[in-house]
Amino acid sequence: MLLIIFKSLINRVAIIILLAFFMSKIGLFRKLISKQDINVKDKILLSFIFGIYGIIGTYTGIPISGAIANARVVGVFVGGLLGGPFVGVLSGIIAGGHRYLIDIGGFTAFACALSTLMEGIMAGFLKKRMEKYEDKLAFSLITGMAAEVLQMIIILIFAKPFSKALSLVKIIGIPMIITNGIGIAVFIAITDSIFKDLETAAAYQAQLALRIANKTLKYFRKGFNETTAYETATIIKEMTNVKAVSFSNREEILAHVGVGEDHHFPGSPIKTNLTRETIKKGKYSVANFQNEIGCENENCSLKSAIIVPLTEGNKVIGTLKLYKTEENSITKVEKELALGLAQIFSTQIELSKVDFQREMLVKSELKALQAQINPHFLFNAINTIVSLIRTQPDNARNLLIHLGNYFRNNLQEGNDEVELHKEIENINSYLEIEKARFGDKLKIIYNIPEEIDCLLPPLLLQPIVENAVKHGVLEKIEGGTVEITAIDNEIETELIVKDDGVGMSPETLSSLFNEDNNSDSIGLNNVNSRLKNKYGKEYSLKIDSKLNKGTIVTMTIPKKQRGKVV
C-alpha cells in the first residue's frame, strides 16, 4: 500500500515540478522571483500563483479513506520561502480555503486547510534564514519534510474521530513527508536556477558597465555638461536594451536619448517628480509604473525607470536615468547596472575637476611667469636696487632678499594648497619691491591674525593684490592704500583685498568674468574659475567697485575637517 501511494504521489509531485519548470521560463515569473524589493501588488500576484499550485496539488491528489494524499503543500511552502510571510499566508489561505470549501471535503477538510495555512506561515518566516544558507536544496528539503510532519500532527489533533485520523496518518504520513519534501526541494532548485541565470547576467552587466565606462571615459573627464552627457547617453542607449537614457543636473535636463526625445528637451527644466526626489534625498529611486515617474506629458511612453544620483564628493550634482516602455520592467540586474554606472560616472566627473584644477594651476603658474619674469619687472626691480646700493645699502640688501624669495616662490613646484602665511609672505616680497619703486604712493595695511588657520591654493590671493596695486592704486596720480584682511571663523576664512584706487565702472565690472576678457596678469577670471571648480559656485569671487572710489574683492575659503570640505 505504501509503495503504491509513494509511486502515485511521486507522479503528482512530478506534475507540479513540470509546471514549475515551464513557469521558470516565463518572463513575468522570473521577474517577480528576481526582484529585490517586491511591492504589495507583486506579492498578491505571487500569492495567487502559488495558491493555484496548491489547488492543483489538491485536485491531483489520491483519495484515501475519506481524505486526500496530495502535493498541495509544495506550492504554498515554496511561495512562503520565496515571497516571505505575506505570500506564505495568502497562498495558504487560497489553497487551504479551497481545500476546506470543495465538495470532496472529508473528515480532514478543516485540519488540512489549517495545516496548509500554518505551513505557509512557517515557510514565510523561514525565508530570511534560507537566504543565509549556501545549500538551499538541503535546507528546503529538511524544512519541507518538517512542514509535512506538522501537517500530520494537525490532522491527529483536529481530525475526528482520532482513531480514523491515526489510521490515515499511518498510511499517508511517510509517503507525503518524503515526496512533498523532495518536491519542495526540487521546486526551490528550479527557482534557484533563475538566480544563477541572473548572476550570470549580472556578471555580463558588470562587464558591460566596464565597457561603457571605457568608451565614456574621454567624455566625462572633460566635465559634466550637455555635450558630454549626450555622448555618454548615446553610448549607453546603443549598448543596452533600455528605451531611453537621460542625464540631468540639479535643475535641468542635460541630455535625453531615446523614447521621449520629443518632450524631454536638453536645457528644459526637470520634468519628473521622481528625479527631483532623487536629487533631494541623494538615493536611487525605481518607478515601476508610469504614474510613479510623474512626467507632465500625458502622452509620454516611458512607464518604468531607475533614477540614480550622480555625486561629487558628498554633494548630488545630477542624475542618470534609465527608462523602459513597459511597466514593472526594471530588473535587479538593470538596477545594479545603473548603480555601477553612476558610481563610475561620479568618479569620472570628480576626476575631471581634479584635472581642471591641475590644468588651471599649471596655467596660472605659466601666466605668473609671463607676467613677473619679464624684462620690465626684472629690470625695474634691479634698477630700483641699483639706485639704493650706494645711498641705502641695507634697504638694497633687503630688496634683493625679497626679490629672491619672490622668484623662488613662483618658480618652485606648485603644491595643491599652501598656508595663508606662506602666500602672504610671497605677496609681501612683491609689495616691498613695488613700495621701493613708488615710495609714498603705495601704502600697505595687513590685518592678518597670527594664529589664523587657513589653507588655500597657491597663487590665488596674489593676483588679487597685484590687480589692486597695478590697476587700482598706481593708476592714481597721488597713489593710495591697499588693505589685506583675513577674518577667521570655525568653518571658513574670509579674505578681503581693499584699495582706494581708481575703481571700475559698472560696465567693466559686469564684463570681468567673460571668457574672452584677456589680461596681462593672472587675472580675476582665472582666480574666480579656480575657486568655483575647487569649492563650488557659491565660493566665487565677490567684487564691489565704484569708479574713483576703489575696489573691494572678497573670497571665502572653506576649512577642511578629516579630509572633507565642511
Per-residue pLDDT of the chain (566 residues; tens, 9 = 90+): 667 777 787 888 888 888 888 877 776 777 777 666 678 888 999 999 999 999 999 988 888 887 888 889 999 999 999 889 999 999 999 999 999 988 666 889 999 999 999 999 999 999 989 988 888 889 999 999 999 999 999 999 999 999 999 999 999 999 999 999 999 999 988 888 777 766 666 666 666 776 787 787 677 767 788 888 899 899 989 888 889 999 999 889 999 999 988 888 888 888 777 888 899 888 998 888 888 887 878 888 888 999 999 988 778 889 999 999 988 888 777 888 888 888 888 877 776 666 566 666 655 554 554 454 445 667 777 888 888 787 788 888 888 887 777 766 665 545 678 889 988 988 888 888 888 888 889 999 999 998 898 999 887 898 899 889 988 999 998 999 999 999 998 889 999 999 999 999 888 888 887 755 555 445 688 788 888 878 888 899 999 999 999 999 999 999 864 344 44
* Strand, helix or coil for residue 343: helix
Q: What is the pLDDT of residue 215?
A: 80
What residues contact 465, with CB distance under 8 A and at least 6 apart? 427, 430, 431, 482, 484, 497
Q: What is the pLDDT of residue 440?
A: 86
List the one residue out of 275, 281, 282 whose CA is nearest residue 254. 275
CA distance 483 to 459: 18
Cβ pair 36, 335 in contact under 8 A: yes
Q: What is the pLDDT of residue 565?
A: 43
CA distances from 479 to 215, 433, 443, 447, 559 (A): 58, 16, 8, 20, 35
Q: Which residues pair with 248 in a beta bridge?
A: 253, 319
What residues contact 29, with CB distance under 8 A and at least 6 apart? 23, 49
CA distances from 82 to 14, 28, 187, 340, 535 (A): 20, 15, 11, 26, 49
Grid cell in block for residue 40: 504589495
Q: What is the pLDDT of residue 117?
A: 95
Hey, how many other C-beta atoms are within 10 angstroms of the C-beta on 149?
A: 14
